[in-house]
Chains A and B, each alone.
Chain A
Amino acid sequence: MSRSLVSITDYSKEEYLEIIEIAKEFELQPVQEILKGKIVATLFFEPSTRTRLSFESAVLRSGGNVIGFSDASTSSSTKGETLNDTIRTVSNYCDMIVMRHPLEGAAKFASEVASVPIINAGDGSNQHPSQTLLDMYSILKTQGTLDNLAIVFVGDMKYGRTVHSLVMAMSHFSPRFFFVSPVELKLPEEYKLYLDNHNIPYIETTDFGMAIREADIVYMTRVQRERFADPIEYEKTKNAYILKYSMLLGTKPTMKIMHPLPRVNEISRCVDKSEKAYYFDQTKNGVFVRQAIISHLLGLK
């Protein structure tokens, strides 16, 4: 079985750093012909335009070719084909598969039946490891280090998979965490237990204004209306987790604001003009990091 990237926990601290080092090389020289003659399949059983374009851009910048589909309705799964059969077939058409699937564990299963490496580009609410690696790359690039940082997560701590994965990955680097969320969307117990067991200090709060002044990184996520059983609760709390320009006053000069995107209204548009706004640069870093992941898994770097 070839090596795949399914879960952020598949990688050790050393491997995170290795990917980041390779991504730095791609940032210095984005156009490299190292995937010449290689085909990468992007199988998006669930649409995600941003992630798919980012991966395809990474492949094309590296000199490779792309095949695939962007929506399950254009694939044979609508005819009732099993994932097993799709993956085993497509394995014969390409050198690597990048896949997004609405079911959790789909990428893990695919990695067991595929004859080529699998990159998980999101399996339901479970994992999206390339997002975590590009978040880490962005943190390192803006802060000059990954160690001893204060990271403030804001929004949906309960269902936000980008939050969960980044918490796990950054735990290797002696961080301090703040989790700012409505009571309904607090971090699940299993992650708190993990932090306790690793002696990592964290604070859970509903007070965004307090936490933001401590931050080296503010990691925003969207609070979705459908997560609330009671719509009145949503209306009462929604404004407490919106980042406004005035809130940047008194924050650290080196602080950066990140967001996995898409943004709806949780970061006010006025914030975009601040040099602390980093979410669009983050998407640029995503291409370098995906170039790094692809070339690393294919043993080319």
Chain B
Amino acid sequence: MNMGFKDEKTLKVSAIKNGTAIDHIPSNCLFKVISLLKLDKVETQITFGTNLDSNKLGSKAIIKISDLFFEDSDINKIALIAPQVKLSIIRDYKVVEKKVVKVPEEVVGLAKCFNPHCISNHESLTTRFQVLTDNGDIELKCKYCEKITDQEHMILL
């Protein structure tokens, strides 16, 4: 039925035999997702496309990583910057499983507290945040200074 549409996508970022496809990444978050998942350290084949047309997002990016399957805890990190991302697990050119990301309850060692007077910005320690959701937006409440960092001010480590 919508084969034509699917074919068009495979052309833009070529298909992989086994691995993970990450779709619906907002274009401006592509490189953040790459660094969050430490894809720069991965040695298998990775292809990506960005600034692709998307009905939902206007402009999106896709990443396809061969022979790599992520733990849910790693995947859920993406929720901080791109909660609408969808993952496809691919085996032998077929999608065998689809996953959406879940917002984690706690974020450890991933983000920086925006409060310049927070001890976490002065002492060597692992940052910890409780995740709050405010009308769909994700906010991080620092376990140390108790201040809230909103999405706009979120800086990933």
Check if B119 sits within 8 Å of A83, measured CB to CB: yes
Distance (Å) between the CB of A104 and the closest chain B CB? 4
Which residue, B119, B124, B143, B144, has most C-beta atoms of chain A within 10 A?
B119
Q: Quick one: given A83-B119, A124-B117, A125-B117, are A105 and B145 in contact (CB under 8 Å)?
A: yes
Residue of A nearest to B134 (CB): A193
Q: CA A84 – CA B126 in complex, angstroms?
A: 13
Say how far B108's CB is from chain A's closest CB, in angstroms.
Answer: 13
Given A84-B123, A84-B124, A103-B122, answer yes or no on A108-B117 (Cβ-Cβ < 8 Å): no
A105 near B119: Cβ-Cβ < 8 Å: yes
Measured between beta carbons, the chain B residues less than 8 angstroms from A105 are 118-120, 142-146
B148 within 8 A of A: yes
Residues facing B in A89-125 (CB within 8 A) are 101-106, 108-109, 123-125
Q: Is B115 an interface residue (CB 8 A)?
A: yes
Contact residues of A with B, CB < 8 Å? 7, 82-84, 101-106, 108-109, 123-127, 190
- Contact across chains for B146 and A127 when beta carbons are under 8 A apart: yes
Q: Is the Cβ of B117 less than 8 Å from the Cβ of A102?
A: yes
Q: Which residues of B contact A84 (CB under 8 A)?
A: 123-125
B17 sits at the interface (CB 8 A) = no
Cβ contacts under 8 Å, B123 to chain A: 82-84, 106, 109
Contact B124 A126 (CB under 8 A): no
The contact of A109 among B115, B117, B125, by CB within 8 Å, is B125
Q: How large is the interface on B (under 10, 10 to 19, 20 to 34, 35 or more residues)?
A: 10 to 19
B144 contacts A109, CB within 8 Å? Answer: yes
CA distance A109 to B122 in the complex (A): 11
- Provide a sorted-by-A list of 5 A–B residue pairs whose CB atoms are within 8 angstroms: A82-B123, A84-B125, A104-B146, A123-B145, A190-B148
For the A-B complex with A83-B123, A105-B145, A124-B145 known, give 14 more contacts whose Cβ atoms are closer than 8 Å.
A84-B124, A101-B119, A102-B117, A104-B117, A104-B118, A105-B142, A105-B143, A105-B144, A106-B119, A108-B119, A108-B143, A109-B119, A124-B117, A126-B145
Shortest Cβ distance from B144 into A: residue: A105
Residue of B whose beta carbon sits closest to that of A9: B146
| A-B complex: 7 closest residue pairs judged by Cβ atoms | A105-B144, A104-B145, A105-B145, A105-B119, A103-B119, A106-B119, A108-B144
Complex-state Cα separation, A105 to B143, whole angstroms? 8
Q: A83 CA to B144 CA in the complex, in Å?
A: 14
In the assembled complex, the Cα of A249 lies from the Cα of B122 at a distance in Å of 50
Judging by beta carbons under 8 Å apart, are B125 and A126 in contact? no
Chain B residues contacting A82 (CB-CB under 8 Å) are 123-124
Smallest beta-carbon distance A107→chain B, Å: 9
A276 to chain B, nearest CB (A): 34
Per-residue CB contact flags for chain B residues 115-157 toward chain A (1 = under 8 Å, else 0) read 1011110111100000000000000001111111000000000
